[in-house]
Structure 1
Amino acid sequence: MLESYLTGLVVCGGIIVAIGAQNAYVLGLATRRRFHWWSAGVCMSADLLLLTLGMFGISALLLAMPGTLAVLRWAGVAFLCWLAFHALRRAWTGQQGLGLAGGEAPGLRQVVFATLAVTLLNPQVYLDTLLLIPSVGAQQASSATFLAGAATASVLWFSLLAWGGAALSPWLTRPLAWRLIDGAIGMMMAAIAFNLAMGNGVPVA
C-alpha cells in the first residue's frame, strides 16, 4: 500500500513539474499575487478528476488489451524526450518560459476561465492524466492508493507554485532563474524517459 502511494507521488510529481501553459499561468498569477490560489485550486480539481477517470478507465483497457501497455510505454518515452528537448533548448537559448505581460489585471471570473482553458485545451494534460500516469498505476498493488499518491503530488505542486511564486516573485521575474528552472526540468524529464525505456517500473512484454 505504501509503495503504491509513494510510486504515485513520485511518478505524478516528476511529470507535472514540467513547465507548460498550465503551470506557467499559475506562476504568472502568483508573481503578481492575483487570484493565484483560485487558479491553483482549479488545476488541482481538474487533475483529480482526470486522474480518477484515467486510473479506473485505463485499467480495464490494459486488462482487455495487454499489448496496449507497450504502446503507452514507448509513447511515454517519446513524449518525455520531447519535453526534455524543449526544456533544455529554452535553458540553452535563454527563452523565458514565463510571460509577465502588463495591462489590465484580470478578474476572478477571467482567471478561472483562463485556467480551465490552459488546462483542458492542452493535449499534454490528457496524455499525462488519462494515459501515462494510469499506465504505471495499473501495475501497482493498489490502484486507489496510487491515485491518492498522484493526487497528493498535484496538491503539493500547485500549492508550491501559488505560495512559492508569490514569495519569490522578485527572483522569478529574472530570465536567468528560468534558464536554471528549465535546465533542471529537462534533466528530470530525460532521466524519467531513460528509466521508462529501460523498463524500470513497467513490465516488458
Structure 2
Amino acid sequence: MNAPDYISGFLLGLSLIIAIGSQNAFILKQGLKREHIFFISLFCAVSDALLISAGVAGFGAITVQYPQIVNIAKIAGMVFLIGYGLQSLYASVRISHAITVDGQAVTGLKKALLLCFGFTWLNPHVYLDTLVLVGMVSTGASSKLAFGIGAVSASFFFFFALGYGARLLRPLFTKPKAWNLLDAGVGVLMFYLAWHLYQS
C-alpha cells in the first residue's frame, strides 16, 4: 500500500469530521449515556465509507452536474435539525431521570439508528465533503485506493474514539442539571446548524 497516499487520505478524512456538528454531538451524547455506542459508531463509519468510496470512484461529478440532489438534502436536513433542536430544548427544561445516568438504555436501538441516519444522510455537507472534496483530492493521489482506505480509516478511528471516549467526561454528568445544560447546548447547536444550512 502507498503509505503517503494513505496518510494523506487519513489526515483529510480526519480534518473533515473532527469539527463539532450535529452527528458528532449526537454520538457524544450517546457515548455519555452508554447507549448503543458500538452500533451508532459503526453506522456512522460505514456510511462515511460508502460515501468516500463513491467520491473516490468519481460519483462526486454527478452531484456537481445535478446540484438538486444536494438542495433536496439541504431542505430535508433543515427540517430534521429544527425538529431535533426543539426536542432537545424541551428535554433541557424537564427533570432528568436517574436512568440517564446509570447507563441503562433509554433510547431504543431502532430510534437511535434512525436519528443517526438523519444526522448523516440528511446533511448536505457530508455529500460535499465526501463525494466532492475527497473525490477531487483523491485524483491527485498516485494510489486512489490507498487514499480512500486512509480516509475511511479516519472515519472508523474518529467515530469509535468519540463514542467510547465520551465516558471520560462522564463524571461531569453525574448530576441531572448537567444533562439539562447538555440538551440545551445541543438544541442551540441544532438551530445554529439549520440556520447555517439556510445561509449556505
Place the TM-score, normalised by the shorter chain, in its bin: 0.5 to 0.7
Using the TM superposition, give the Cα deviation of residue 169 of structure 1 relative to its aligned residue in structure 2, in angstroms. 2.3
Using the TM superposition, give the Cα deviation of residue 15 of structure 1 relative to its aligned residue in structure 2, in angstroms. 1.1
What is the rounded CA distance, in whole Å, between the counterparts of 1:57 and 1:134 in structure 2?
6
Give the match for residue 168 of structure 1. Answer: 169
Using the TM superposition, give the Cα deviation of residue 22 of structure 1 relative to its aligned residue in structure 2, in angstroms. 0.7
Unaligned runs of 5+ in 1: 63-67, 69-97, 179-205
Task: Verify: 1:145 aligned to 2:146, yes or no.
Answer: yes
Give the match for residue 119 of structure 2. Answer: 118
Q: Which amino acid aligns with 1:6?
A: I
Using the TM superposition, give the Cα deviation of residue 38 of structure 1 relative to its aligned residue in structure 2, in angstroms. 1.2
Summarize the Cα distance change of 1:111–1:4 in structure 2 as closer, same or farther, 3 Å threshold: same
Summarize the Cα distance change of 1:134–1:169 in structure 2 as closer, same or farther, 3 Å threshold: farther
Q: Which amino acid aligns with 2:129?
A: D
CA deviation string 1:34-54 (max 9, x = no partner): 112211110001000011111
Using the TM superposition, give the Cα deviation of residue 164 of structure 1 relative to its aligned residue in structure 2, in angstroms. 0.4
Equivalent position SS for 2:163: helix
Task: Verify: 1:28 aligned to 2:29, yes or no.
Answer: yes
Task: Verify: 1:10 aligned to 2:11, yes or no.
Answer: yes
What is the rounded CA distance, in whole Å, between the counterparts of 2:159 and 2:167 in structure 1?
12
CA deviation string 1:34-86 (max 9, x = no partner): 11221111000100001111111158x49xxxxx8xxxxxxxxxxxxxxxxxx
Residues 51-70 of structure 1 mapped to structure 2, 5 A cutoff: 51-58=52-59, 61=61
Q: Does the CA-based 8 Å contact 1:13-1:157 persist in structure 2?
A: yes
Name the count of aligned residue pairs. 143
What is the rounded CA distance, in whole Å, between the counterparts of 2:165 and 2:111 in structure 1?
22
Identity of aligned residues (%): 30
What is the rounded CA distance, in whole Å, between the counterparts of 2:157 and 2:109 in structure 1?
22
